[in-house]
Amino acid sequence: MANCCNKQSEASIGVSAGKVALVGNPNVGKSVLFNALTGAYVTVSNYPGTSVEVSRGNAVISGQQWEVIDTPGMYSVHTITEEERVAREILLHETPDVVLHVLDARNLERMLAMTIQLIEAGLPVILIVNIMDEAERMGLSIDLQLLQQKLGIPVIGAATARQRGIDEIRAAITSYRCHCRQQSFEYSRLLERDISEVAGLMKGEYIISRRALALLLLQQDDEIAGLVSQREGGGYDVISEKVREIAFDRRESFHLDLSLERKEMVRRIINGVFSAPEKRVVTMAERLSGLAVRPLTGVPLLLIVLYFGLYQFVGVFGAGTVVDLLEKQIFVELFNPWISATV
């Protein structure tokens, strides 16, 4: 079984206090948080054997040095794209001590399904509910304490672009301990039976839980099948046969049933946690965005930006006023006479 505490003692005596992996959907502020934690000195390189870039840096938190990895965007632990495969490879093989799952507060319901998968995997997860400032501006309300109780993991509200919540995230990383009371999310009786039958046949040691591995095998995940085959040796034939048997029996509905059940889990979790106003609050940025994509209003806006933004500001003010001030008044009249007389 996965053991999220298996590196705590090693981290305390090693050069680095531990390893932090940032995961989440694209465009949720992972890179902003990564930069806030690590500063300017980072290493960007392709993950071995792929063309996918992975950013790595070091963060000094409470006097301890942590390695921080910004993984590519992923929507699910069950991977489809190359970016998702790389992100999961990091979780499976680099054994992070803390996994920061960053999600968009405005899309809480859609993104919590991945949080459930990370918790099922037994990973040391801290949930970062990011872009809280925009959510509050839209009138959305999120009870972070209740969400933490329901998930059984630390939950932090943040607006990383405004440096809000960064100190709390740093404190959560250094104080993180294995949350052995992580919630166990139960599926229907039929699906639970299938999971138990497959997981019960596994004997090898894995970084993530056998329950999560069983679900991935039932989703026909070839990479996980290769991993389990390697760890189980000759015993994998029995597991593979059981997976084929279940897959054949439920060939028409398994993926749909799993998706619907996870959606229902999320609905139960956000019940009482998330509330939105009856009439959605539209921000000024959204109004401008809507006006910009309509031909009737977008063309005049474009002309205004071109005239005032490019011609007046860049051309007249920048290339004219500012340049004249620097050349004629500062250099010609003040600096050049003084430097000539002095030198």
pLDDT at position 178 = 59
In this structure, are 162 and 300 located in the same domain?
no
3-state secondary structure of 157: strand
In this structure, are 22 and 75 located in the same domain?
yes
In 29-119 the beta strands, taken as DSSP E runs, fall at 42-46, 53-61, 64-70, 98-104
pLDDT at position 173 = 93
Phi-psi region of 58 (alpha: psi -120 to 50; beta: other; left: phi over 0): beta
44 vs 23: CA distance, rounded Å: 16
Does 93 map to a domain?
yes
In this structure, are 16 and 158 located in the same domain?
yes
Does 223 map to a domain?
yes
> DSSP string covering 247-277, please?
HHHTTTTHHHHHHHHHHHHHHHHHTTTEE--
7 vs 202: CA distance, rounded Å: 23
Does 151 map to a domain?
yes
124 vs 21: CA distance, rounded Å: 10
In this structure, the dihedral spanned by the alpha carbons of residues 318, 321, 326 and 329, taken in order and rounded to 10 degrees, is: 180
- Which amino acid does the sequence have at 28? V
In this structure, are 199 and 78 located in the same domain?
no
Which token pair is 238?
């029995």
Q: Give the DSSP H/E element, type plus range, for residue 91.
A: helix 82-93
104 vs 29: CA distance, rounded Å: 8
42 vs 100: CA distance, rounded Å: 18
174 vs 165: CA distance, rounded Å: 15
In this structure, are 210 and 75 located in the same domain?
no
Percent of the chain with pLDDT strictly greater than 70: 93
In this structure, are 157 and 291 located in the same domain?
no
- Strand partners for 61: 64
Does 274 map to a domain?
no
How many distinct helices (H) and strands (E) make up the chain?
16, 9
pLDDT at position 183 = 65
pLDDT at position 176 = 84
In this structure, are 240 and 134 located in the same domain?
no
Point out the domain boundary residue: 250, 269, 293.
250
Q: Give the DSSP H/E element, type plus range, for residue 128.
A: strand 125-130
What is each CA distance from 45 to 26, 49, 50, 107, 263, in whole angstroms? 18, 11, 10, 30, 36
In this structure, are 61 and 21 located in the same domain?
yes
Point out the domain boundary residue: 207, 234, 250.
250
Which token pair is 319?
């290339």
Number of domains into which the chain is organized: 3
pLDDT at position 100 = 96
Task: Identify the segments of the chain with pLDDT beneath 70.
Answer: 1-15, 40, 178-183, 280
Point out the domain boundary residue: 134, 157, 184.
184
Does 267 map to a domain?
no
pLDDT at position 10 = 41
Does 1 map to a domain?
no
Domain of residue 153, CATH code = 3.40.50.300
In this structure, are 215 and 130 located in the same domain?
no
82 vs 88: CA distance, rounded Å: 10
Look up the domain containing 37 and give its range: 8-184
Does 239 map to a domain?
yes
Does 277 map to a domain?
no
Taking the mean position of all CA atoms in its chain, how far away is CA 160? Answer: 13
234 vs 161: CA distance, rounded Å: 51
In this structure, are 18 and 111 located in the same domain?
yes
In this structure, are 166 and 206 located in the same domain?
no
110 vs 259: CA distance, rounded Å: 12
30 vs 41: CA distance, rounded Å: 17
- Strand partners for 53: 46
In this structure, are 22 and 120 located in the same domain?
yes
Spell out the residues 6+ positions from residue 245 whose beta carbon is closer than 8 angstroms to its own.
Answer: none
Spell out the residues 6+ positions from residue 299 whose beta carbon is closer than 8 angstroms to its own.
Answer: none
Query: Which ranges constitute the DSSP H helices of the chain?
Result: 8-13, 30-38, 82-93, 108-120, 132-137, 144-151, 166-175, 189-199, 210-218, 222-232, 236-249, 254-270, 284-292, 295-304, 323-324, 336-342
pLDDT at position 182 = 57
